[in-house]
Structure 1
Amino acid sequence: MIAYFVADVHLGRKSDGRFLRWLHKIRGEVNHLFLVGDIFDFYFEYHIPEAYNEVMHAFTQLIHKGTKIYYVLGNHEMYPWERLKSMGLWVGDRIAVDIGPNKVFVAHNLEGLSRGQKFMLRSKAGHLLSSIVPRATLFEAGLLWAKTSCLWDRLRNRRRMWNKIEANWATLRNHYDVVVVGHYHTPCVKERDGSKLIILPVWTKSWGYLKYEDGEWRLIQSRR
């Protein structure tokens, strides 16, 4: 059984040819594909640029070849997700699955969303407010917000962030063999008490991803 995990592709106005080629390459090979948040830099269901449609078509082709796709929501992606659900993707904030002999927990991050993000990205009220704004204006504002959000994440106190990660992992490893997250821009594999914490690479920096095959977990990265 083969499973891939990829996060933080941050598709904007333009297509990412490397990501599309990778999706085509793994078609027919991968059993499970986990999209671990922030695949799109800003997603709003009623204004979808052509670059996003190309990726969605690639998702459809994978599904037709028998791949099960899980979309774990990130902190740049806006409610609702009916289109992706109708295509056959599983969509949610986090998921617990069995992969081989392992119980695996997958989320974009271990801290959740801020109150403002929950309102804008997940609530019906936030969705209604966003539907009033002209589509082009909403999309441009969303891209600007996404870039600002990324900058703020990088400026946060790193030690405080790692303390939160460690605290949440301490709870999760009592129940899961492997915890997989994106978001943190610090790819690594940590092991403790028989549990693994795997932080995914940022696609935009290294074209990196996580591969599971025959009991082996492997981070794969390419130098730009």
Structure 2
Amino acid sequence: MNINISATQKVFFASDFHLGAPNRKSSRKREDKIIRWLENIEEEAAAVFLVGDIFDFWFEYEKVVPKGFIRFIGKIAAMRDKGIPIFFFTGNHDLWMKDYFTKELGIPVYHHPIEVEINHKKMLIGHGDGLGPGDKNYKVLKKIFTNKLCQFLFKWIHPDIGISLAEKWSNSSRVTNENKQEDTFKGEGEWLWKYCQSVEEKIHFDYYIFGHRHLPLELPVGKKSTYYNLGEWVNQFTYGEFDGNTFQLLKFKK
């Protein structure tokens, strides 16, 4: 994918909104802040990359999608109507996104990292779950969750029951991760950083842009590359901005 932007345009990146968590009240407050951010950037946005775990849970049945998030969905629909390209990536909480956003809004949905070139700067962009060494338990779970037969069987559960079960699982998963202190810097054990280093040995990218870790990071990858983690919007409200020459992590405070 190639994107060319003018001197007055920027490309924006954000991940881990976790809309729906931990409850309706706090999710709605966060949703309003996300909309203010989108309103703040849309005049200069050449494109927006939403890099996974946008929803704390999402499962597309053949005729049903999860209830809620209508203000957020309405805002990105309005941005698409203005001609602003938006790109969605699935994360470990919204693995089951399919073609609803593509058919309704013209927003492509990616399930794996993709290569993007913006003004001759090469980027590898993805959510980041299941990449790099370690985290073997999750990698096994991901194979189950992405298995076509498992998805086929799950969709026959009534949505009221299936979504309720999934929301409970999502909440318990988040509590487990907090107990493991997954949002603390692991130094040389940062497995996404290691993944970027292994990729850079084979093919060069100027920027590696991921989410999932819930920790804003800017780390060197070799001498000419940088790994950025976008952080999250439950507490930190961080995002990435690229002006055609420079990538930077920023915090939205409005």
Q: TM-score, normalised by structure 2?
A: 0.79
2:49 is the counterpart of 1:49: no
Distance 1:223-1:19 versus aligned 2 partners, 3 A rule:
closer
2:196 is the counterpart of 1:169: yes
- Report percent identity of matched pairs: 23
Compute the displacement of 1:123 (Å). 3.0
Aligned residue for 2:45, secondary structure, equals coil
Q: TM-score, normalised by structure 1?
A: 0.88
Find 1:204's aligned residue among 214, 234, 239: 234
Q: Aligned AA for 2:197?
A: A
Q: Aligned AA for 1:119?
A: I
Cα distance in 1 between the residues matched to 2:189 and 2:205: 19
Higher helix proportion, which one? 1
Number of residue pairs matched by the alignment = 222
Cα distance in 2 between the residues matched to 1:74 and 1:11: 13
Cα distance in 2 between the residues matched to 1:31 and 1:212: 10
Deviations 1:152-195 (A, max 9, x none): 33417874983532331112224211000111122121123210
Which residue matches 1:10?
Answer: 18
Find 2:217's aligned residue among 188, 211, 215: 188
Cα distance in 2 between the residues matched to 1:159 and 1:210: 21
Cα distance in 2 between the residues matched to 1:222 and 1:20: 11
Aligned residue for 2:176, secondary structure, equals helix
Which residue matches 2:168?
Answer: 144
2:98 is the counterpart of 1:103: no
The structure 1 segments of at least 4 consecutive aligned residues displaced by more than 4 Å after TM superposition are 156-161
Which residue matches 2:153?
Answer: 129
Cα distance in 1 between the residues matched to 2:79 and 2:47: 10
Unaligned runs of 5+ in 2: 132-137
Distance 1:73-1:161 versus aligned 2 partners, 3 A rule:
farther
Cα distance in 2 between the residues matched to 1:177 and 1:76: 28
Unaligned runs of 5+ in 1: none
